[in-house]
Amino acid sequence: MSPNPIAQPEWKKRADMKVLNTDLRRVDGEAKATGRAVYSHDVRLPNMLYAKFLRCPHPAAKVVDLDLGPVSAVSGAIHALAIESEETSFLGQPVAAVAAESLEAAEDAIRAIRVEYETSGWAVTEEQGLDPATPSIGRRGNSFVDRETGDLDEASAAVASADVMVESTYTVPVQHHCCLETHGLVVDFDGKRAKVWASTQHVTGVSQQVAGELSISTSDVEVITDYMGGGFGAKFGIGIEGQTACRFAKELKRPIHLMLDRADEFLFSGNRSGGRQILKAGANMDGRIVGMTAEIWRHGGIARGSNPGQPYIYSVESSHMQMGSVHTNTDANRAMRAPGHPQASFAIEGIVDELAYALGMDLLDFRMRNLEDPVYHRQLDRVAKEVGWYEHGYRAEPNRSRGGKNVGIGFGISVWGGGGRPVCVTSVRIDPDGSVTASTGSQDLGTGTRTYVGAIAAEEFGLKASQVIGRVGHSAYGPANGSGGSTTVASLAPAVKDAAHKAREQFAERLASWLECSAEQVRFEGGEVYSTAEPGKRLSWAEACSILGSRPIEASGEFQGHLQTQGVHGAQAAMVEVDTQTGALKVLKMVGIQDCGLPLNRLAIRSQINGGMIEALGYALFEERVIEPWLGYALSANFNDYKLPGCKEMPELVAIIDDDDDRQQVIGMAEPTIIPGHSAIANAVHNACGVRVYDLPLTPDKILMGLTKKA
Amino acid sequence: MKNFEMLMPTTMKDAVESLPEERTNPLSAQATRILAGGQDLLPEMKDHLAEPDVVVNLKGVDELSGSVRNPGSEASILGTGRIHIGALTSIAALASNAEIREEYGVLSKSAESIATPQIRTQATIGGNLCQRPRCWYYRNEDTVCLKRGGDECFSYAGLNKYNAILGGGPSYIVHPSDLATALLAIGATVVTTQRALDLSEFFTLPSESDPTRENVLEPNEVIETVLLDSSLGASNGWKSTYIKFMERESFDFAISAVALMLKFDGDKISEARLCLGGVAPIPWRCESTEKLLVGRTIDDKLCEEAGEDALRGAEPLEFNEYKIPLTKSLIAKALKELA
Ligand SMILES: Cc1cc2nc3c(=O)[nH]c(=O)nc-3n(C[C@H](O)[C@H](O)[C@H](O)COP(=O)(O)OP(=O)(O)OC[C@H]3O[C@@H](n4cnc5c(N)ncnc54)[C@H](O)[C@@H]3O)c2cc1C
Ligand code: SF4
């Protein structure tokens, strides 16, 4: 008998799916909710030491003297290291670290270190960064322009000749990731092999980096990320905490627990860059935006910051953009859920609203006239219906009445790639006892990776989701890409599907003789196995597996490009209430729609939409890193002064999966859901009371002062 | 947190004797500190704003009560018929006490508005009145402002969005206690191991004495009870409310708060008590506004006049001018609520 040519794995039709494209509860929800889940923070090993950093309290300083000597007098302190003994370049930069028998002893030891600093000038604001007196921060100078598109003269002329013209400056503050689990890891190194528990978005990368730090081979590093408490883009590399933990582990030959504290987290583990955008735009009476110029300054601290550029998703006949960065002596920005996009969205959605009002045109209608992609038209229409736009009284002018509480509505849109790449190698195993495992080295950031990994295999074998164990977050389970750019699902799901598909084919082959049919005639459905030749004769899954005897089925899978694609769209609407006497802002409702190709777990997708809207709500209402501009103190490096929304801030959230998107391929969709929410809220505030807040967050002081002026 | 010794006295005598007679300035340098619910002292110790060597835990002191009592006609040197709130009474217990809800709605509402359910369960009324300011300069270990014994108020010319518009200088904190504002309106008395103090005498302005302190307590003086003036309760015809404005509703300190108590003769106000929170270094009583309200019927005009009058002396700093229109609006809302 000649072997069957292996058929290509293909996703089933949506209508035929029993597990995928349904609502699946996350398999590890209970472990997380009950505290049974072990995070890196929770790891306790015999003989383990706790490590901690000393931060520089100045934005920039010369380290005149760093005296680690006093550490030896602290009971329980074991060792101290200098991290930066010459010059610091950002507020909170680690200058030294200690390892001690307990966290308390580590803290005492940190405080015993004596450092003498000499500060000469520094910058924590854009203005200070641009001041010629400020010492140089970056190698390219404290400000530079690195991107220019379009023709300035042409665009300016188009703006000038338009029927209406607006010019505004939009500012966004620095936002923090606020992962519940701080950065860090536990390193156990015996001189030859290392075991590492890391809170990371890239297990595979951590094994490589730790191997480098410890001068051993990657295969001698085992990395475990069974559970992690959020990354949002800030946890790709091992960072200074990983390097330092490795240094201690190497020198002391004892396991090292180094997890950042909350202030560390706020001060040196990355952030979403702030920025200032000056937009001039003109539109004609027919509702077309004919010209736009944009001057963009990113505030990425000692890094560059991010912004995808303007006019973002909108089509403008003639536009010009100049983008640059201004450095300050503050922590480098890192990737954060849809890097740069929420910043761009805030400015463009604001100016689009301003143009529509200037023309006296329906805000939704005006948007559609300037969006070419029909997907946005259907999505905007859908969220508009859901939020009650068509019944709303203020569609082309804001409500300017005073004295009561006014309701307003606003919109925003998003775009993303979300395609995969060929990195993941996965495996699926069927054991004679009937158990099935699907394994990947990929980490579950909390997005539900573990759940869909098992579900894909369950769908393949006609099992329930609960009958397959999804195993994630271990370097031994094969290489996987970093979870960034919403690339995880499109990189991983095809590889899991591939492994499951191969395992099924092998299993069918093995069962064929038993069922007295050909492998192609073997069907796996509803927990049973049968041959199409004789559907009445069925084996239960357990019976079928027992036939495997002592030879389990094991198949390995790789990326299959045709099972994924890229390119997603989203639209959101927000309905708010503004108290015109106090400036109090209440978000009443947010509606988000998102396309995503083939939905694997509908519940998880809606959770991502909700999560994106909530994170954008925080950015809209409160979140802002505050650094004292005159003295250089960090004033918001804690959860009292850096405010996150709580349960009472939650609006009614409506998350919609755009089922008009019938692409039969998987696409990542988590990031774009955070892009437009705050813009929709800011626009809704203006719609409610005629006050436009040009600088986030939309705190009541700004709204109230706006209301007092307009009165 | 610095290591410390914890004392668990069982009698008030022992507690007081373990406390220093002389005050060390600033308070943060005090080597011995009183501990009640720990919701402020522990965070201060963790942040190294307070570094006591000895902590005197009041929870085991027999004489101290953690409950609300109404001795009724029972004779007492402090007068009869007043509601006694033991210093260790939790804010949660206060918020849910039916008698207080009935008599002093303003106090229940203020208690309910505080922090989170977890914190309310631990925090006590005594500790709430003695909590330290939330000014973000003060709370940053690296800044040594006037409040911490330094010689400059950084808020004055700094980021002062949350600071005082009334009674400020040389420190511009706002008192963080919600209970204080409501209790001042009720005319509460604080009974300590040394004396009985009207709440209006308990708090002190930074300009009056020492900017590193917020109240007049001696270092070895312990709050035992808070007494509520029974003549100002609902059964004597008083209506009351507490309106607190927060940036974040889920939990936050007041940006501005209004405690209002009114007694009516028909639709005319016959007596009034108005206190503001979140706008001054002490809970702020508006006596002239109270007088202005008497004899008047509540309408838009009165609301406006009252707001104008209450905020007449306000001197905003660079970033907190909004507190003026905000507080005026809150006063108007409170008046309308009781109309
Ligand atoms: C996140 C958060 C939010 C908060 N929000 C609010 C809010 O919205 N409104 C509000 O009013 N408060 C708020 N608070 C403050 C909180 O209410 C107080 O910290 C708490 O009431 C203090 O009471 P305690 O019993 O825990 O005092 P402790 O922390 O034990 O003591 C506080 C201070 O009082 C002294 N002390 C305690 N008892 C006595 C006594 N009997 N006699 C003399 N001195 C005493 C202590 O020495 C210490 O200096 C918040 C706190 C947190 C952490
Ligand atoms: S207001 Fe008071 S606590 Fe704040 S900086 Fe000034 S002196 Fe310090």
Interface predicted TM-score of the whole assembly (ipTM), two decimals: 0.96
pLDDT computed for residue B72 by the predictor: 52
pLDDT computed for residue A128 by the predictor: 98
List of chain A residues with pLDDT < 70: 1-6, 710-711
Using CA coordinates, name the residue in chain B closest to A698. B247
Q: How far is CA B65 from CA B77, B184, B196, in A?
A: 18, 21, 17
Band (B29; pLDDT cuts 50, 70, 90): confident
Which residue in A324, A254, A244, A316 sits closest to A284, CA to CA?
A316
pLDDT computed for residue B74 by the predictor: 45
Across chain B, what does the average pLDDT equal? 94
Q: Which of A108, A584, A635 sits opposite B140 (nearest CB)?
A: A635
Mean pLDDT of all residues in B12-24: 94
pLDDT computed for residue B81 by the predictor: 66
pLDDT computed for residue B170 by the predictor: 98
pLDDT computed for residue A502 by the predictor: 98
Q: Determine which of B1, B42, B154, B250 to mutate to test the interface with A (most A C-beta atoms within 10 Å).
A: B250
Query: Ligand 1 centre from A487 Cα, in Å?
Result: 47
Write the DSSP assignment of A454-521 as a string of letters: HHHHHHHHT--GGGEEEE-SBGGG-----S-TT-HHHHHHHHHHHHHHHHHHHHHHHHHHHHTS-GGG
Whether ligand 1 lies within 6 angstroms of the CB of B253 is answered as: yes
Q: How far is CA A369 from CA A376, A380, A415, in A?
A: 11, 12, 17
Whether ligand 2 lies within 6 angstroms of the CB of B279 is answered as: no
Helix (H, G, I), strand (E, B) or coil at A602: helix
Distance CA A342, CA A413 (A): 10
* Cross-chain Cβ contact A628/B159 below 8 Å: yes
pLDDT computed for residue A711 by the predictor: 53
Residue B157 has pLDDT above 60, yes or no: yes
Instruction: Provide the residue ranges of all domains of chain A, joining segments of one domain with +.
Output: 5-37+420-560, 40-120+183-259, 356-418+565-710
Q: Could you say which ligand is closest to the alpha carbon of residue B122?
A: 1
Whether ligand 2 lies within 6 angstroms of the CB of B162 is answered as: no
Query: Ligand 2 centre from B174 Cα, in Å?
Result: 9
B-chain residues near A622 (CB < 8 A): 247-248
Same fold, A5-37+420-560 and A356-418+565-710: yes
Q: Looking at ligand 2, which residue's alpha carbon is closest to its atom 4?
A: B135
Helix (H, G, I), strand (E, B) or coil at B97: coil
One-letter amino acid at A631 equals L
Distance CA B208, CA A184 (A): 49
Residue B310 has pLDDT above 50, yes or no: yes
Residue B88 has pLDDT above 90, yes or no: yes
pLDDT computed for residue A627 by the predictor: 98
DSSP-assigned beta bridge partners for residue A186: A197, A257
Query: H-type helices in B97-196, by residue range?
Result: 98-103, 105-112, 117-122, 125-130, 178-186
pLDDT computed for residue B76 by the predictor: 42
CB A227 within 8 A of CB A32: yes
Q: What is the CATH number of domain A356-418+565-710?
A: 3.30.365.10
Query: Ligand 2 centre from B146 Cα, in Å?
Result: 6
B-chain residues near A648 (CB < 8 A): 248-250
Provide the phi-psi class of B201: left if phi over 0, else alpha when psi is between -120 and 50, else beta.
alpha
Band (B73; pLDDT cuts 50, 70, 90): very low
Q: Determine which of A582, A626, A630, A710 to mutate to test the interface with B (most B C-beta atoms within 10 Å).
A: A582
pLDDT computed for residue A709 by the predictor: 86
Strands (E), A300-358: 318-326
Q: What is the CATH number of domain A40-120+183-259?
A: 3.90.1170.50
Distance CA A336, CA B54 (A): 45
Distance CA A521, CA A366 (A): 56
One-letter amino acid at A622 equals F
Whether ligand 1 lies within 6 angstroms of the CB of B127 is answered as: yes
Query: Ligand 2 centre from B133 Cα, in Å?
Result: 9
Residue B128 has pLDDT above 50, yes or no: yes
Give domain A5-37+420-560's CATH architecture. Answer: 2-Layer Sandwich (3.30)
Whether ligand 1 lies within 6 angstroms of the CB of B223 is answered as: yes
CB B208 within 8 A of CB B160: no
pTM of the model: 0.97
Q: Determine which of B113, B114, B159, B163 to mutate to test the interface with A (most A C-beta atoms within 10 Å).
A: B159
* Cross-chain Cβ contact B159/A643 below 8 Å: no
* Cross-chain Cβ contact B319/A583 below 8 Å: no
